[in-house]
Amino acid sequence: MERHIRESLMQAEAQCSPDPLPASIITGGLSVTTKQPIQSSAQERTDQCTIKWWWCNEFGEWTLWDTVQAVSCKFKMAVSMRRNMRPLLGFIHKKTFNTRSFCNQKVSGVKRLHDGRVFSGIQPTGIPHLGNYLGALESWVTMQNDYSSVLYSIVDLHSITQPQNPELLQSNIMDMAASLLACGIDPTRSILFQQSVVSEHAELSWILGCLTSMPRLRHLPQWKMKSKQKNEGSVGLYTYPVLQAADILLYKSTYVPVGEDQIQHLELAQDLARIFNNKYGELFPEPCALLSSTRKVKSLRDPSFKMSKSDPQKLATIFLTDTPDDIVFKIRRAVTDFTSKVTFDPVGRPGVANLVSIHAAVSGQTVEDVVTLAKGLDTCQYKAVVADAVVQRLEPIRQEIQRLKADRSHLESVLATGAEKARSLAAPMMQEVRKRVGFS
């Protein structure tokens, strides 16, 4: 594998780099971590690659990346989840210098935006909770500052795969818009819009659905789980992974932040891109997965389950609009155990480990650091420390959500502007799709 990397690098150097590359780059510094062999379980299929400098054949340039977690990609350093590791297209190494010129482009300590386009969506199910924020929304804010093109959609079409009260749904859309803005989503750096307003999503979904076999959808794990829970399932629930694929491909998105439980759905989008391209000519790139944060915030009342909005126990979930008193009370009542010492043992002491994880995440420290700081405290005293850290992190967000919710016209304006920007990308894409299919 290393030999192939060096050959690729030397070929790239000969084609593009005006300056000779240091010998240390060609001969050392490989930094790749993979879990082998790849298992069939979605939870095991997570190959991670830490990338600092790498050559991209698609864009023909060197790119500085902080950390990339790649699952599958057509033209970048990649790992396929359903086949053996593809040939690496780049050479990966640790950054050991601050300024270097490649392809007449200079990187001098100034963070440059990554090429490509990010798309992600969130259902309007009300105010997000702490797990949503730490697991996804926090990274959304980072990505809008790291990538040149970012789209975030409030996916209301997906939400109606389950019964919805129309008035409540409209309220939830506004609440989600307010929450995203309060968390730091900046409409000048990213496109924030309501999915249903851009009709091209539904149109492309129908076309892609005609290219999708029923057995392919039937074996997706979430259909099995949700249809079994409800004892039934709508056609919308059955086909919503196709709509997800349409959401992604409509904008020729190259990166999609996903959790491990969504990997198979992204693979469907990759498959549909290939099927369409083979049938009608090259058009869609195959999107890469950016594995979302490994922070798994657990229920405060039962740490064997994830924190959830639908948890029947009201003290189990911390919402972004909870008051400081609410947060203190919920954390004080959080399940721990009979051992007073603060340790991090997710298997033996899941309740305490959950509090440690939350504390580390909201304070920006490592688990080891917070455990060290908690030395000498019993779990009761430590809960007060955790509560204080969570309040400090969430209180500015809570206040901003309340302010934004009081200005509905501003929220509507932000979403309308975002929809116009999204449609300016979607409309010409659908025009080309219609032409390829034979509609025009």
Give just the sign of the alpha carbon dihedral 389, 391, 392, 396: positive
Q: Which residues contact 298 (CB under 8 A, 6 or more apart)?
A: 304, 305, 306, 307, 350, 354, 357
| Exposed e or buried b per residue across 192-229, where buried means at least 16 C-beta atoms within 10 angstroms of its C-beta | bbbbbbbebbebbbebbbebbeeeebeebeebeebeee
Q: Which residue among 94, 106, 309, 435 is the active-site one?
A: 309
User: Kind and range of the H or E element at 150?
Assistant: strand 147-154
- Residues 64 and 112: beta-carbon distance below 8 Å: yes
Encoded tokens for 73: 């990609």
| 309 flagged as catalytic | yes
25 residue type, one letter: I
* Residue 111 designated active-site: no
| Token duo for residue 432 | 């080309």
* Number of helices (H), then strands (E), in the chain: 16, 9
> Residue 125: which residues within 8 A CB-CB, separation 6 or more?
159, 172, 176, 309
Annotated catalytic residue within 226, 252, 296, 341: 226
Comparing C-alpha atoms, which of 248, 234, 258 is closest to residue 164? 234
Task: Tell me the pairing of strands 61-64 and 53-56.
Answer: antiparallel
**Secondary structure string (H, E, C) spanning 198-230:** CCHHHHHHHHHHCCCCHHHHHCCHHHHHHHHHH
User: CB-based contacts of 16: which residues, under 8 Å, 6+ apart?
Assistant: 60, 61, 102, 103
Q: Is 288 helix (H, G, I), strand (E, B) or coil?
A: strand
Cα 183 to chain centroid, rounded: 15
Residues marked active site are found at 226, 306, 309
